[in-house]
Amino acid sequence: MASFIMKQMMGSQLDKVKELTGGDGEKKEAGADEEDPEVAEARREAEEKRDAKYAKMERQREDVRQGIREKYNIKKKEEEIALPPPCEGRLTQDKKGPIPLPDDDDSFDPVKMATNALNTITEKLPFKLPWK
């Protein structure tokens, strides 16, 4: 903790000294932002070679995968091409759809259902409950 505080205090002082002396000591040449055309061409060629190398490696890997699929009779997984459009106002679509709400009728009474369930269970017990 002490080293962190010292670094913070001394770091700000060193930044002030660097500002007074003219920077970090790095000298930027005029036109250093532009890249030499020969270097750019060499970089582009190296990138093309690397891309070709990785494309060749991927083709070889796919050949090996296909051989394994044929050997063990595995079907290749097909990617889903057409995705259903998302619902309006949502990021994702509900898979099951909206939950239907019960109608406003008198047949749905949770207290009555619980009482009936409790009575059914107590009738099956081999002993009497003290409150019944």
Q: Output phi, psi for 90, to 5 deg.
A: -130, 155
**pLDDT value at 80 more than 60:** no
Q: What is the mean pLDDT of the chain?
A: 78
**Rg of the Cα atoms in the chain:** 37
- In angstroms, the first-to-last Cα distance of the chain is 70
Over residues 18-59, the pLDDT tens digits come to: 777 776 555 555 555 678 899 999 999 999 999 999 999 999
**pLDDT value at 124 more than 90:** no
Over residues 66-75, the pLDDT tens digits come to: 999 999 998 8
Report the distance separating Cα 113 and Cα 105, nearest Å.
15
Residue with tokens 């009497």: 128
Asked if 10 and 2 touch (Cβ cutoff 8 Å), the reply is no
**Chain centroid to CA 40:** 35
**Burial profile 16-52: b = 16 or more Cβ within 10 angstroms, e = fewer:** eeeeeeeeeeeeeeeeeeeeeeeeeeeeeeeeeeeee
Tokens of 49: 């070679």
Residue 108 has a pLDDT of 75
Tokens of 61: 């890997």
